Amino acid sequence: MRLAMVAGEASGDLLGGLLLAALRQRWPGLQAAGIGGPRMAEQGFTAWWPHERLAVRGYVEVLRHYHGISVIRDALATRLLQERPVAFIGVDAPDFNLGLEARLKAAGMKTIHFVCPSIWAWRGARAKKMAASCDHVLCLFPFEPELLRAHGVVASYVGHPLADAIPLQPPRAASRNALGLADGDTVVALLPGSRRSEIQYIAPIFLQAAARLHRERPALRFVLPLAPGLRAQVEPLLAEHAAGVPLQLLDGQSHAALAACDLTLIASGTATLEAALFKRPMVIGYRMHPLSWQLMKRMRYQPWVGLPNILCRDFVVPELLQGECRPETLAAAVLAGLDDTAGAARIERRFTDLHHLLKRDTARCATDAIAQVIGA
């Protein structure tokens, strides 16, 4: 069996790798190719283009790369229509994948979209586009299929694969041992994002916050896991903004960092859900190009931006966005979180309930739905 897949950034690569592992278990001879990253490559995926080529967020940033991304999408569509895999699976990246899926579906190819775009949070008009693009949508959250059905989109709730992959009891001691951290250390994990634009806008502020925290509490330890290819961009920022801070750069190992830490200062995105599944207190921070922020802010439907807060429908953890995302405000929020032991216990209970809600044997549910679509 031959499938085509596209994952557009580190979080999509992670989800694509988990899905591919399940697909290969069901169909051992499966071959898959398209656009992906190292997690998918571990499952035998052939990347015709690296997923970093699509890892752009924000309207202004997308405009700068629009021509190159359009060239890739056109070339990929041409190749897929020539090779005719049994189906195409778009993993998130809706701005890239939905247009591609519409073209493939119109030509008679089965199309599956893995991860419903956040039509419940912003840009709800995408639901109409999905009806013309997708034969089936695999939804991560339980309320999404009903929303899609109202627009004529066939969908299934498959749970979140991270809820299956991350243990209900995080391996704190083993992770600290693997990272060389003592049991008594107070550890803050910095996760400023996996896109180059996020490193540009967010990493300097997170590192400045870490420097402030170090001055106030010199015993604090910091870890910063890096997505592939970002070390060269981050190391000069570390030297400029956090020289002398006891901060360990990690190649990957984000799950070890989250399991080991006492609190994470984290950019809004899929990583916040990973932190919630590790039951970690967090401070969510985010910045982007000012024009992109103004455009996106006007299209928000909900008061929350972070996935844990959206899913809990409450400000369980603080969000400091754009103008509020400053070193002094981030550092103050981190210290408040570290000192609030009762609050950490409440957060752990809320996130444990969320973990149980999302844990649905995604591998079986997703492959069952895909098998129905392709008639296998």
Examine the pLDDT at 128 and tell me if it is beyond 80.
Answer: yes
One domain for residues 190 and 100: no
One domain for residues 184 and 55: no
Per DSSP (E only), the strands in the chain are 2-7, 31-36, 46-50, 87-91, 110-114, 136-139, 155-157, 187-191, 221-226, 247-251, 263-267, 282-286, 319-321
One domain for residues 10 and 100: yes
Examine the pLDDT at 179 and tell me if it is beyond 60.
Answer: yes
pLDDT of 53 = 67
pLDDT of 65 = 56
Confidence of residue 291 (pLDDT cuts 50, 70, 90): confident
**Between these two residues, 67 and 275, which has the higher pLDDT value?**
275
Q: Which amino acid is at 153?
A: V
Alpha-carbon separation of residue 122 from 2, 8, 269 (angstroms): 34, 20, 14
Confidence of residue 288 (pLDDT cuts 50, 70, 90): confident
| Number of domains observed in the structure of the chain | 2
Examine the pLDDT at 55 and tell me if it is beyond 80.
Answer: no
One domain for residues 278 and 148: no
Measured torsion, CA atoms of residues 295, 272, 359, 368, in degrees rounded to the nearest 10: 50
One domain for residues 170 and 241: yes
Helix 203-216 / helix 327-339 crossing angle, nearest 10 deg = 50
Examine the pLDDT at 353 and tell me if it is beyond 50.
Answer: yes
One domain for residues 179 and 137: no
**Between these two residues, 231 and 121, which has the higher pLDDT value?**
231
One domain for residues 253 and 271: yes
One domain for residues 207 and 139: no
| 3-state SS assignment for residue 123 | coil
pLDDT of 11 = 83
Q: How far apart are the first and last CA of the chain?
A: 10
One domain for residues 298 and 268: yes
User: What domain range is 170 assigned to?
Assistant: 165-358
Provide, for the chain, the percentages of residues in helix, strand and coil under a 3-state DSSP scheme, each rounded to the nearest 5.
55, 15, 30
**Contact present, 266 and 284 (Cβ < 8 Å):** yes
**Mean pLDDT across 141-157:** 92
Least confident of 80-89, 291-300, 306-315, 336-345: 291-300
One domain for residues 241 and 259: yes
- Select, from the ranges 64-68, 155-159, 290-294, the one with the highest average predicted confidence (pLDDT): 155-159
One domain for residues 43 and 114: yes
pLDDT of 59 = 47
Least confident of 24-28, 103-107, 119-123: 119-123
**Mean pLDDT across 64-82:** 86
Examine the pLDDT at 122 and tell me if it is beyond 80.
Answer: no
pLDDT of 121 = 67
Alpha-carbon separation of residue 272 from 11, 166, 218, 283, 335 (angstroms): 11, 13, 26, 9, 19
Work out the mean pLDDT of the chain and round it to a whole number. Answer: 92
Reading the block at residue 292, the tokens are: 């992109």
One domain for residues 217 and 310: yes
CATH classification at residue 309: 3.40.50.2000
- Distance, in Å, from the CA atom of 197 to the CA atom of 213, rounded to the nearest integer, reads 25
Examine the pLDDT at 326 and tell me if it is beyond 70.
Answer: yes
Reading the block at residue 259, the tokens are: 């399991």
User: What predicted TM-score, i.e. pTM, was given to this entire model?
Assistant: 0.81
Q: What is the CA radius of gyration of the chain?
A: 20
